[in-house]
Amino acid sequence: MGGHFGASVSVLERFALIGASGVDTPAHVNTGAAFLFMADGSNGDSWPLKEAFYASDRLSGDRFGFSVNLASTSSFVGAPDATAVNNNTGKVYQFFRKPTASSVTAIDYFIE
């Protein structure tokens, strides 16, 4: 994983959302990412990766994944250096969990 993996962690039931605010993408550096793991097996001894999240409007230095919060129906991922209205004002991205599945769909949610 790399890129400051574990910079932020949120656990709820069998799910763990882990931020990695220093992850690079092919076109950008330090854009960041968040990774969703789900416990497998009856004793939770295996936590396979279920989903990797990246900001849809990612730019270098956004640090997406700097903060994460996992709730029952949605998750939030912070990018403190992302540009919302002015430079480096920060953004929060909300991801909604599908009611009948462990996967989620992404919706950007901006804090100004």
Residue % of the chain over a pLDDT of 90: 26
pTM value is 0.81
Q: How many domains does the chain have?
A: 1
- Per-residue pLDDT, 30: 86
Domain range for 69: 5-109
- Per-residue pLDDT, 34: 94
> Residue 112 pLDDT more than 50?
no
DSSP 4: S
d(CA 66, CA 23): 11
Q: Round to the nearest angstrom and report the end-to-end CA distance of the chain.
A: 30
- Per-residue pLDDT, 111: 40
Neighbours of 17 (CB within 10 A): 25
pLDDT in tens, 45-92: 888 998 888 888 888 888 999 999 998 888 899 998 887 766 667 888
- Per-residue pLDDT, 97: 72
d(CA 9, CA 6): 6
Report the pLDDT averaged over residues 23-41. Answer: 86
Please tell me whether residue 65 adopts helix, strand or coil conformation. Answer: coil
